[in-house]
Amino acid sequence: MSRDLPIVAITPFPVAAAHELGDAQLRANLGRATRTIRDKRARVVAEVADWEPMRDRAAAVKDEVLDNLAELLARFEAAAVAAGATVHHATDAAHANAIVTELVRAQRAESVVKIKSMATQEIGLNEALEAAGVTPIETDLAELIVQLADDTPSHILVPAIHYNRSQIRELFARRMPGFTATSDEPAVLAGAAREYLRRTFLAAKVAVCGANFAIAETGSLVIVESEGNGRMCLTLPETLIAVVGVEKLLPRFADLGDFLRLLPRSSTGERMNPYTSIFTGVTPGDGPQRLHIVLLDNGRTQVAQDPVGRAALRCIRCSACLNVCPVYERAGGHAYGSVYPGPIGAILSPQLTGQDAGFNKTLPYASTLCGACYDVCPVKINIPEILVHLRQTGPKPAAERAAMSTLSWVMRDRRRWRIALRAARSGSAPLRLIARRHGGTLRRAPWPLSAWTAHRDAPLPAAESFRDWWRRTHESS
């Protein structure tokens, strides 16, 4: 079974990234896939004349949700219950898992079919179900690949982006019941998965899903997908359980239009999603006769209190930021050690579970701050700004705090700063001789500067300050 990563970085990012960079096949797969998606996105976005105003509107709607979260949750619950759904509130992952597990047990189901869902990965639902003796079966093709490989997803939208087709064929041959194909043609592999999953759909009693959007006005849930597996899960089983992050709310049904234009273009480079399912409550004799909606907090209301970091909750999980990030393209999703990889994961994971948890404090530094993520984000999350904010507010070693405090004291006085610069130039003379062989930069410095040069070159103080140069060349004349 696939392993759901927690929303806590389990390894320091620099260590994990160094390991992943050694996988040449991974880097080739990632580079090819992200370039393809990037180019497709650019083409379809260029067709939309009002793309920027649409981004502004979507960001404003998401901010409205965060400003009125309690009221909108109550409105959504009332509308959903009136339509025949049962609404549950989960404060954290353990609470959500307990609710879902109990609901599955009530139906005496030995297995559940699942639609791709970041929320269920976030709470570790697969592990919780397995511990209760229930087999979760992923029905999204990429999630199925990851599950059969006992692996973890490495991309928000394309979980198996780190596999190529020959690797997938070999995996199917080992792990998929009834697979006999010798070809690694995508159509052949997809056909084999379709046959395997069709039998699973027809036997399923319970399905588990997430939601892309939840409409407060009507109590409706919206799921967009590309394969049709979601439609099967939403119509065939008798019981449907939706785990939905509270930030997925939209106030009005009319708000949905902009998001259904933004999301497919930003995620898969398509003008619209092949399958868009909008369902409200229960309809007698048509589709699931029991709909349970688990509204998941899991740290979200706390994040919403941060005036800077709260913008991360606008995220609609399109993964556009991953596809343009130079760090993600080289290191891949596993380097982040969390269910949310890439730039959005670097700001979301530390806020949901705390920067002190695991190695979350290393994630805000997993960025060059180039700003490409902000440029492509359909809801205008200023990821670089939040990264800097988290760097400033996150935990720091005592030695670093003392060094910065001392530096602040020095820089507040012109005379102290001038003396410090002269001392730095004098003290760096031996290092300058070493650096001269590398174009004036120091690649390896002694402790404590070694912590800096372990990952980057260190520039040395100029041999002459600007003031000294000016005094020598102008004042003397």
- 3-class DSSP assignment, residue 217: coil
Per-residue pLDDT of the chain (477 residues; tens, 9 = 90+): 445 556 788 889 999 999 999 988 888 888 998 999 999 999 999 999 999 999 999 999 999 999 999 999 999 999 999 999 999 999 999 999 999 999 999 999 999 999 999 999 999 999 999 999 999 999 999 999 999 999 988 888 888 888 989 999 999 999 998 898 889 999 999 999 999 999 999 999 999 999 999 999 999 999 999 999 999 999 999 999 999 999 999 999 999 999 999 999 999 999 999 999 999 999 999 999 999 999 999 999 999 999 999 999 999 999 999 999 999 999 999 999 989 999 999 999 999 999 998 899 999 999 999 999 999 999 999 999 999 999 999 988 888 888 889 999 999 999 999 898 888 887 777 777 666 666 667 777 777 777 777 777 777 777 788 888 888 888 765
Token pair belonging to 198: 């069709």
pLDDT of residue 466: 84
For residue 17, how many C-alpha atoms fall within 13 Å in the half-sphere facing its CB? 18
- Spacing of C-alpha 183 from chain mean position: 33
Placement of tokens 């760096």 in the chain:
428
Token pair belonging to 157: 């939208």
Under 8 Å between Cβ of 336 and 11? no
Closest by CA position to 83, among listed 278, 247, 274, 213: 278
CA 451 – CA 444 distance, rounded (Å): 9
Placement of tokens 């297995």 in the chain:
111
pLDDT of residue 198: 92
- Helix-strand-coil percent breakdown of the chain, rounded to 5? 55, 10, 35
Under 8 Å between Cβ of 123 and 97? yes
Under 8 Å between Cβ of 57 and 262? no
What's the pTM value of the predicted model, to 2 decimals? 0.89
Alpha-carbon distance values, 191 to 39, 158, 181 (Å) = 27, 19, 10
Task: Return phi, psi of residue 131, to 5°.
Answer: -65, -25
CA 384 – CA 311 distance, rounded (Å): 12
pLDDT of residue 235: 96
Q: Work out whether the CA dihedral 308, 310, 314, 319 comes out positive or negative.
A: positive
Under 8 Å between Cβ of 367 and 376? no
Length of the chain: 477
CA 28 – CA 119 distance, rounded (Å): 29
Residues facing residue 250 across a β-bridge: 215
Which residues touch 42 (CB under 8 Å, ≥6 apart)?
Answer: none
CA 319 – CA 238 distance, rounded (Å): 32
Question: Strands 111-114, 135-138: parallel, antiparallel or unpaired by DSSP?
Answer: parallel
For residue 256, how many C-alpha atoms fall within 13 Å in the half-sphere facing its CB? 20
Which residues touch 245 (CB under 8 Å, ≥6 apart)?
Answer: 119, 210, 296, 298, 300
Token pair belonging to 232: 């099967």
Token pair belonging to 285: 């004799």
- Spacing of C-alpha 294 from chain mean position: 21
